Amino acid sequence: MRILFVFALSFVLQTCSGRDCEMVFRCHDNDLNNRINLQIGTELTGHYTYQKLAQMFERHSQYLPKVAKYFRQKSMEELAHAERFIQYQNQRGGTVEMSLVTIYEEGSCKTAMDVKEAFRCAMELEAHVTRKLTELHQAASNIQFTGESNCEDLLALEDDDLRLTQPILITIKHDSGERVTSNYTDCNCESGEPNCFVAGYAYVELAEMIVHEFLDHQLEDTKEIANYYNTLKNMNSEGNAKLASWLFDQHLEL
């Protein structure tokens, strides 16, 4: 029992030593790095999926030029979102890793063959992107190290490392309470802080960016697409689906 206690105490002291503050920071930052790269992949999936929808309505067999142009514009918006996260990753000193881009093939997106189903697919795609952004926002607000990162392979911090300039808030908990610091080296246990540990990192700027540059737009865009989907659904219920699609295209405002 006594040996166990000494081992636990030495682990706590080790975790809270100055050198390990850096390791803890790098592990948390690596978690965030992975999450941002996943979001870049999600935005590129949106870009690629809208490209697929756009080309469907450029084909001669179901030519709807305004619908095609609408989906192409959406595709370029998603590309711009991916580029914004790539820019952010580089601005904060992170490492961009490009993944293979896939089409979103859940729900209606798996089977969409006409304009009504294409707009339903777009709604579901936007909902998917919103969920991923919301999860990233939650993580940015409180990154908790899960132990999944390989901390050994991470690059050491240098004095001029951009990662050190990020606006972050670090919560350190201990048996008597908690404190918050903005200094990544400040995870040392102080006197009166028994069993302290780093409980989480908040990336203030990223959380703000997600809300103001992304989630606001998601609500507007999803509402617009839902309007179009329901218009098409109502028009189709009157009878001639092809005539309804043609009229919809004629009146679509770009």
- Positions touching Fe ion (CB under 5 A) are 43, 78, 81, 129
Q: Compute the least distance from the CB of residue 46 to Fe ion, in Å.
A: 5
When the beta carbons of 93 and 107 are compared against Fe ion, the nearer one is 107
Which amino acid makes up residue 99? S
Q: Compute the least distance from the CB of residue 151 to Fe ion, in Å.
A: 31
Residues 6+ positions from 53 with CB-CB distance below 8 Å: 71, 74, 112, 118, 121, 122
Q: Compute the least distance from the CB of residue 43 to Fe ion, in Å.
A: 5
When the beta carbons of 81 and 163 are compared against Fe ion, the nearer one is 81
Query: For residue 144, what are the CA distances in angstroms to 28, 89, 153, 225, 253?
Result: 7, 19, 19, 36, 45
Are residues 192 and 176 in contact, defined by beta-carbon separation less than 8 angstroms? yes
When the beta carbons of 27 and 136 are compared against Fe ion, the nearer one is 136
Q: Compute the least distance from the CB of residue 50 to Fe ion, in Å.
A: 10
Residues 6+ positions from 61 with CB-CB distance below 8 Å: none
Structure tokens at 196: 């302290």
When the beta carbons of 43 and 193 are compared against Fe ion, the nearer one is 43
